[in-house]
Amino acid sequence: MSNLSRRNFLQGVGAVILVGGLSACGGGSSDGGAASSASSLSPEEAEKARAEIRRAIGLLFDRTHICVDIAQADQIPASTFVCQGVGEPDGSDFMQNAGRGNGTGYYDVGQDALEANFNEAVEVLKKYYAYDEGTGMFTNFPSMTYLYNTDEGHKAIGEYLQSALAGVGIEMSMENQEWATFLNTRKAGDFSIARNGWIMDYTDPICMLDMWTSGSGNNDAQFGKGAHADVAAYDIDITDLGYDLKVEGGTWADTYDVLIDTINKESDQPKRFQLMHRAEDFIMDTGALTPLYYYTNPYLLNKDVEGFYVTPLGFSHFDKTTVAGKGDTISVCYGSEPDTLDPALNSAVDGATTLVHTFEGLARWKHVEGDTYEIEPACAEEMVEGVTNDDGTVTYTYTLRDGLTWSDGQPLTAKDFEFAWKRAASEDLGADYGEMYSVVVGYPNDLAVTAKDDKTLEVTTTNFIAYWDELMAFPVFYPVREDVVSSESWATDPSTYICNGPYSISDWKHNSVITLTKRDDYWDADSMTMKEIKWFLSDDQNTNLANWEKGDWHFIDGIPTNEMARVKKDYADQYVVAPYAGTYYVCWNVNEDILPA
């Protein structure tokens, strides 16, 4: 191979281990002749080939280089999709046990594995594409477009991936879109390969696994959607774990969807975690998810701010802050104009950060100390234990606090929760997070949740759910009022944005600033120290940093990559890296053909 291709591609990531789900198709040679084309393969054979190709390309990136030299925010190279820091029943880390438990996950991210990874990738790709041994270039790999949202950090990573691929003759152009458009484009499957990231919504591996079912609104890879719905290329066998599920040559719905459903119905936690490892094996076999690093949450916080905290799920809290000892106003920036501030429809961390200030569920996260957090009751008087029924279902009965009100002064009732949950879960709404309700009996259109009276809410789950209390603190489980949401534009105008949390929206200058004002009639208003939060809307990291350095803004969570070293040096006492439960990855569209014609 040429020095150029070796230099660009010795940024590798380790051997992929085939563990079920999808077996790579054989054939081909390494003498420059591409053995397989899209026209010569059945849909099933073609998908097996594409999976092997995607996995091979995943071997070609140096995660350490991305973390240390490009992102520079203390990220950790990723060898799995499910992020680090998620505990197993025995106290071990789920990530450490992934990929057949050999210690390297699905990729070996060590620097000493770079050359072996490169060589393995090239040999796999030679099966399918013409290869010029003299130049070390593939000559007929279809061109691709890498989609990313406007951000200098995402651009820099994309440019590295682009350069590495170009080193062996693979052309990848780049396209950027503003945040809201980007989310919708990716969701619709209008891309070939895109940057992606997932922050956990609750600290259980299923949060990163059930998003890939056929009907999930977060299934950007398009598994089981479009043409892929009919591709019968998948095998599954979990009879060794005591389940009656063995399928050969099944569709995504026949296999992965059924596996996730089995996990959701399993109450035995050790067996459930074994099944979740099988699920991760399954999606990683497709090669459609290429993990790059585990997230960290770097931000700049003005030294005069006290009382700020951010949960491992990425939700920043400003309600208990002061600035120079005063609780008048704090100015922050953690994203551009939100795609939506409807609790049922939001799917972004920046939107969720606003929602934890404007809405509240039965429970909320409490900051204990340091990096320790716990769930505590919010709208509910207490976090109740579920009662197991004869059929294995579990019923929870919650009593709401006295005196709960909406921001327009109307009383909040259990009926508001019943309506909101049924709305969020319904197929008609099509909420990205609607599938979180799949653990409730009657999902999606006959949810077993009932307001017994104004203060009593009863809900029945399919079985014991280990992370149920955490769900009660997640935005999609927040209440909304039926008469309010009857207008589609209710969540875009302060005059119609009726909420139940500690703050209401008093002003919204679109694409500029949202002003949150403390509600004096909120049940826990005395614990809220900050009267006003100004959320400035910008994804221009250089502008954001300039505003922070001038002291105009007190908090930003996006730091330009080319300024990171200086920021760490100049503001060592104000630069913070918080834990963040999530993975940054490349997402392939499984309906896009990458085989030669």
Q: What is the mean pLDDT of each run of 10 residues along the chain (597 residues)?
A: 32 32 42 58 95 97 96 94 93 90 85 96 97 96 96 94 96 95 96 96 93 93 98 97 96 97 90 97 98 95 96 92 98 92 93 96 94 94 97 97 98 98 96 91 96 98 93 97 96 97 98 98 98 96 97 94 93 93 97 93
- 490/353 same-domain check: yes
Domain ranges, residue 200 = 3-294+583-588
- Residue 563 falls inside a structural domain: no
> Token pair 């939060």 is at which residue?
533
Predicted local distance difference test score (pLDDT) of residue 217:
87
| Residues facing 147 on adjacent strands | 175, 194
- Is residue 284 within 8 A of residue 561, CB to CB? The reply is no
| Residues facing 550 on adjacent strands | none
- Residue 137 falls inside a structural domain: yes
Rounded CA-CA distance 554/544 in Å is 10
- 382/445 same-domain check: yes
- 280/370 same-domain check: no
Other beta carbons less than 10 A from residue 402's beta carbon: 8
Radius of gyration of the chain (CA): 25
Among 505, 523, 539, which residue terminates a domain?
A: 539
- Residue 395 falls inside a structural domain: yes
- Is residue 293 within 8 A of residue 67, CB to CB? The reply is yes
- Residue 241 falls inside a structural domain: yes
- 148/284 same-domain check: yes
Q: How far is CA 352 from each of CA 87, 357, 444, rounded to the nearest angstrom?
A: 24, 9, 23
- Is residue 22 within 8 A of residue 55, CB to CB? The reply is no
- 247/100 same-domain check: yes
**Beta 322-323 vs 305-306: how paired, if at all?**
antiparallel
- 49/137 same-domain check: yes
Q: Which residues contact 317 (CB under 8 A, 6 or more apart)?
A: 308, 309, 310, 311, 356, 357, 367
Q: What's the structural domain count of the chain? A: 2
- 404/482 same-domain check: yes
- 459/362 same-domain check: yes
* CATH number of the domain that residue 427 is part of: 3.40.190.10
Rounded CA-CA distance 112/99 in Å is 19
- Residue 559 falls inside a structural domain: no
- Is residue 210 within 8 A of residue 198, CB to CB? The reply is no
- 523/428 same-domain check: yes
Q: Which residues contact 325 (CB under 8 A, 6 or more apart)?
A: 306
312: preceding bond cis by omega (within 30 degrees):
no
- 207/127 same-domain check: yes
Q: How far is CA 112 from each of CA 116, 215, 310, 585, rounded to the nearest angstrom?
A: 8, 41, 36, 22
- Residue 560 falls inside a structural domain: no
Which two tokens mark 532?
């006003």
* CATH number of the domain that residue 268 is part of: 3.10.105.10
- Indicate the DSSP class of residue 187: H
- 347/490 same-domain check: yes
- 365/237 same-domain check: no
Rounded CA-CA distance 46/41 in Å is 5
- Residue 121 falls inside a structural domain: yes
- Residue 384 falls inside a structural domain: yes
